[in-house]
Amino acid sequence: MSQVTFIAFDGSKMLIYAAAGLSLMENAVANGIDGIEAQCGGNAYCGTCRVIPVGEWAVRLGTRGDVEEGLLSSLDEGNALVRLSCQITVSEALDGLVVRLPESQS
Ligand code: FES
């Protein structure tokens, strides 16, 4: 299990213990994180699972995959750090991950 902190737009923090092998989105939904809608169920076409990695995590998560990049580009997302949590697979290497949630997922 990896400890992951979600920071809501209002600054409130929510800590979960995320299971390896599942996506960050799946872990967030399983733990009742508000603000992760995941309308497409993790198929990388809704864009409602967006998170913004904090600090060093912007680098440690690696670069966006092609599918992820394609969707985020089409959404005209102005923040280059934004990621799709459904495309991030949790592993022990992500222990301590901190991400912010956008103001809305629309
Ligand atoms: Fe739809 Fe991530 S759940 S893009």
Give the pLDDT of the chain (106 residues) as one tens digit per residue. Answer: 999 999 999 999 999 999 999 999 999 999 999 999 999 999 999 999 999 999 999 999 999 999 999 999 888 767 889 999 999 999 999 999 999 999 999 8
What pLDDT, on the 0 to 100 scale, is given for residue 103? 93
- With a Cβ cut-off of 6 Å, ligand 1 is lined by 25, 38-40, 42-49, 84, 86
What pLDDT, on the 0 to 100 scale, is given for residue 83? 97
What pLDDT, on the 0 to 100 scale, is given for residue 62? 94
Give the whole-angstrom CA distance, residue 66 versus residue 21: 20
Give the whole-angstrom CA distance, residue 101 versus residue 61: 16
Compute the distance from residue 5 Cα to the ligand 1 centre, in Å. Answer: 19
Give the whole-angstrom CA distance, residue 34 versus residue 26: 13
Give the predicted TM-score (pTM) of the model: 0.94
Domains of the chain by start residue, with CATH: 2-105 (3.10.20.30)
Out of 36, 45, 68, 75, give the residue to mutate to test ligand 1, the one with the largest number of ligand atoms within 8 Å of its CB: 45
What pLDDT, on the 0 to 100 scale, is given for residue 3? 98
Compute the distance from residue 37 Cα to the ligand 1 centre, in Å. Answer: 8
Angle subtended at Cα 84 by Cα 78 and Cα 90, rounded to the nearest 5 degrees: 140
What pLDDT, on the 0 to 100 scale, is given for residue 20? 98
What pLDDT, on the 0 to 100 scale, is given for residue 77? 66
Give the whole-angstrom CA distance, residue 23 versus residue 76: 24
Give the whole-angstrom CA distance, residue 56 versus residue 63: 13
